Amino acid sequence: MDKKTTDQIHYLILKTHSLTGVIPVGAFLVLHFSINSLRTVGVWPYQISIDIINNLPFLIWIEAGFIIAPLMFHSLVGFYIYFSGRSNPFRYNYPHNWMYTLQRLSGAVVFAFLIYHLATTVVPKLWYGNTQFEAAPYLIYVMNQEFKSWDGRIIYAIGIVAATFHFSSGLWGFCISWGILIGRRAQTNAGYIFALFGLVLTVMGLSTVVEFSLHPVGVEATEPG
């Protein structure tokens, strides 16, 4: 392969940023919210799904390669994009200009939230090592703690809303920048569909928070089915 010019590298990095936002980062968000919302159906489906995930082969590689690395890449390039523009929604007060501003802000909010989220879940898990804990009881214990106070509930609600907004609005932007949605009407119609999609994700995420807050569960070791 020829040596790439800085222009080609720039293009590839920004395209990859756009792509990683959908796959795998966005796809993981949907999966994450879907599995967590099983908690609203019952403790057992939630536990068993956690156990299945935690017993996947090569889990650490899946987590590192398909979640952490793309997420870090998307965040780093995201901050570069954040600082490359200067939003002006007060001067040019149009809906899409506000979406542009919110897209950048929500990205930064999600990033801050993820630091908190990882610090309270994954970091202790890695710290105490895989041998000393069972995934489901440990996670349920952590979540019970998180949702005991209004502080935790509000932090999670903000994180969830910022993430679902960033993803659904980002999907719309993705479809335009890759040339899937071209016509003005196509862009508007798809906008409504993505808004509905974002709303569904938000309800899924928030209902999990509500369930954990209203009905904290006693932590027990998982029984293999």
Partner 1 sequence: MKGNIVNEKTVKLKIKRQDKPNSKIYWQEFKIPYKERLNVIACLQDIQRNPTTQLGESVNPVTWDCNCLEETCGSCTMLINGKVRQACTALIDSLEQPVILEPMSKFPVVRDLQVDRSRMFENLKKVKAWVEIDGTHDIGEGPIMSDKVRSQRYALSECMSCGCCLEACPQFSLTNNFLGAATFSQVRLFNLHPSGSMLKEERLDAVMGEGGITDCGNAQVCVEVCPKSIPLTESIADIGRQTTLQTLKNIFMK
Rounded to a whole number of angstroms, the minimum distance from the CB of residue 115 to partner 1 is 25
Query: Using an 8 Å Cβ cutoff, are 73 and 17 in contact?
Result: yes
Binding flag, residue 222, partner 1 (CB under 8 A): no
Rounded to a whole number of angstroms, the minimum distance from the CB of residue 103 to partner 1 is 8
Radius of gyration from C-alpha coordinates of the chain: 19
Binding flag, residue 184, partner 1 (CB under 8 A): yes
- Nearer Cβ to partner 1, position 11 or 61? 11
Site for partner 1 in 125-154 (CB under 8 A): none
| CA of residue 139 relative to chain centroid, distance | 18
Over 163-220, what HEC string results? Answer: HHHHHHHHHHHHHHHCCCCCCHHHHHHHHHHHHHHHHHHHHHHHHHHHHHHHCCCCCC
* Binding characters for partner 1, 2-21, by CB under 8 A (x = yes): ---xxxx-xx--xx--x---
CA distance 157 to 116: 13
Binding flag, residue 109, partner 1 (CB under 8 A): no
Binding flag, residue 180, partner 1 (CB under 8 A): yes
Binding region for partner 1 (CB under 8 A): 5-8, 10-11, 14-15, 18, 81, 84-88, 91-92, 94, 96-97, 99-101, 103, 173, 176-184, 187
